[in-house]
Amino acid sequence: MSDERQIARIRVEALEPSYATAAGVWAERLGLPLQGEADFALQLGAAGLQLAELGPQAPGPVRVDFIEGAVAHRRLFGGGSGQMIAKAVGVQPGVRPRVLDATAGLGRDAFVLASLGCETTLIERQPLIAALLEDGLIRAAGDAEVGPIVAQMRLLVGNAIELLRGWEGEAPQVIYLDPMFPHRDKSALVKKEMRLFRPLVGDDLDAPALLEAALALASHRVVVKRPRKAPIIAGPKPSYALDGKSSRYDIYPLKKLQASKP
């Protein structure tokens, strides 16, 4: 990961006085100040937790929302089990694999898989992004439609390589990886998120080690999402790939996924 993230100054803010106590709890949990000069602010208000870049030319804040917006549109109109990500992880009639998303980010891909019936574990190592994800999951849990979906999502915070190597209990059938890469997607949303997150996260320079750990743990397959023209991650070559307009999924099959017995 890039060392650029080390110079980012971050504070926690309550957007309204009534959220001051809860903001203080987040500040203590994350080891961040509640005041002082900063480049970014983790803000708490009526809409939940959000991360904002500070300054006159800054883009709008980013938060996790599983109930409304782009994620809801994708859940309702995204193509269901016909989506490429569903095919990549092996969703098919009678097959809903247990998936570990080891690079969870804002949780969109994991939410899609959970909405299709996959039990999904998420790992996020950047504490601020994990905080946004935790807040989004808590808010969604109370929604009548989305609550049952996020009930299938479990969040772990920490270094994915270490967590995979020290995994205890039943292994995930599929491990899904989407390492940070210099994205060229021109949408305003992606630009905003990349601008916010890259100083905090950097690029995933340890992706080869993450792939190695995933291949050692997954029982059935590993799936790596990449920009369509990006090189494969260093290490074993994928058996095949599914190509989309801007992304592709490199597939590393280990064992055939079978339909659950009734």
Tell me whether residue 258 is in a domain.
no
| Tens digits of residue pLDDT in 221-259 | 999 999 988 999 999 999 999 998 889 999 999 999 988
40 near 51, Cβ under 8 Å? yes
**Do 90 and 39 have their domain in common?**
no
Residue 109 has pLDDT above 60, yes or no: yes
**Do 44 and 117 have their domain in common?**
no
Tell me whether residue 203 is in a domain.
yes
Tell me whether residue 107 is in a domain.
yes
Share of the chain above pLDDT 70, in %: 83
**Do 39 and 80 have their domain in common?**
no
Which CATH number do you get for residue 231? 3.40.50.150
Average pLDDT, the chain: 87
pLDDT of residue 188: 45
SS3 content of the chain, % helix, strand, coil (to 5): 35, 20, 45
**Do 135 and 185 have their domain in common?**
yes
33 near 21, Cβ under 8 Å? no
Tell me whether residue 241 is in a domain.
yes
167 near 210, Cβ under 8 Å? no
SS3 category, 94: coil
Question: Mean pLDDT throughout 140-156?
Answer: 95
3 — pLDDT class (breaks 50, 70, 90): very low
pLDDT of residue 191: 57
Tell me whether residue 61 is in a domain.
no
**Do 42 and 76 have their domain in common?**
no
**Do 143 and 18 have their domain in common?**
no
- DSSP symbols for 189-204: HHHHHHHHHHHHH---
**Do 40 and 150 have their domain in common?**
no
Share of the chain above pLDDT 90, in %: 69
**Which residues make up each annotated binding site for S-adenosyl-L-methionine?**
108-109, 124-125, 178
Which CATH number do you get for residue 29? 3.40.1630
Tell me whether residue 65 is in a domain.
no
175 near 100, Cβ under 8 Å? yes
Look up the pTM and report it. 0.88
**Which residues make up each annotated binding site?**
108-109, 124-125, 178
**Do 87 and 158 have their domain in common?**
yes
- Give the domain range for residue 33: 3-53
